Structure 1
Amino acid sequence: MKIAIATKHFKEVGGHIGKSLHWLLYDLTEHHSTRLLPAPERITLERDQIFHVFEDDRPHPLDGVDIMVGASAGEGFMRHMRKRGAQVMLTSEKDPTMAVTRIMAGEALPGPGFDITTSLCKVRDLFSKH
């Protein structure tokens, strides 16, 4: 399983997933629950790889991710990621390691807080190709 966490400069879970530049990628394919989490790979997207502008016309650095975590995302983005094989989870959790630990333990993440960009995304989704 691969889990990608949208972050603010790799320090805490970031806000709007579709606009996130910095990601922590946890490859848990060979992880066992009795071990510590492996160190995540740091991924910095190029401006044209940010999901809000990415055209799906070439491979993406986050291809193959099973779960994407962040604080907010619009329904259009979530539908689009499902088509790409990724589940989107929204949370108010700030600690990326804690978010991954909770997911791996089967625990629910704390729900997302209010984010005005989610409301704006709902309007944008009305006109989205996704």
Structure 2
Amino acid sequence: MKIAVASQNRKEITGHTGRCRKFWIYSIENDAIAGKEMLELPKEQSFHDSSPWEPSPLDDVQVLIAGGMGTGLARRLQQKNIQAVLTKETDPDQAVKDFLNGTLKTEPFEPHEHGHKHP
């Protein structure tokens, strides 16, 4: 299993996932973290700037943990069979450990406005 965590600053979980271009990718084996690497996307491959019908380097993850995302991105991930998880936890490692233990405190998805229209 692979879990992606949005982390634009490489230290904390990112709130605006659509514009995020840096993701920690955790390899999970036997319900434990087996590896962690940073995936950096070019701007045109961010969720905000890419087409939902184009392949993405994140297509092979099963879970994406973030601090926030719109319902459109949540639907896009669902169509790719990626579980979207929102949390107020800021530490990526702790969020993954808590997710694996079933103790991660999650937040509901809410529509958001950020000053522009989506295509």
| TM-score bracket relative to the smaller structure | 0.7 to 0.9
More helix by share: 1
Q: TM-score, normalised by structure 2?
A: 0.85
Structure 2: unaligned runs, 5 residues or longer: none
Q: Within 2, Cα distance between the matches of 1:10 and 1:107?
A: 23
2:30 corresponds to: 32
Q: CA deviation at 1:27?
A: 1.5
Paired residues in the alignment total 117
Identical pairs, percent = 29
User: Does 2:116 correspond to 1:120?
Assistant: no
1:17 corresponds to: 17
Q: CA deviation at 1:63?
A: 1.1
Q: Within 1, Cα distance between the matches of 2:87 and 2:106?
A: 5
The within-5 A match list for 1:1-130 is 1-28=1-28, 31-33=29-31, 37-111=33-107, 119-120=112-113, 124=117, 128=119
Aligned to 1:64, the other structure's residue is in SS state: coil
More strand by share: 2
Q: Within 2, Cα distance between the matches of 1:58 and 1:110?
A: 29
Q: Which moved more, 1:103-112 or 1:64-73?
A: 103-112
Structure 1: unaligned runs, 5 residues or longer: none
C-alpha distance after superposition, 1:67-88 (max 9, x if no partner)? 1011111111101110011011
Q: Would the alpha carbon gap of residues 120 and 107 (structure 1) be closer, same or farther in structure 2, given more than 3 Å must change?
A: same
Q: TM-score, normalised by structure 1?
A: 0.79
Aligned to 1:65, the other structure's residue is in SS state: coil
Aligned to 1:109, the other structure's residue is in SS state: coil
The RMSD of aligned alpha carbons is 2.2
Q: 1:107 corresponds to which letter in structure 2? A: T
Q: 1:26 corresponds to which letter in structure 2? A: Y
- Runs of 4 or more off by more than 3 Å in structure 1? none
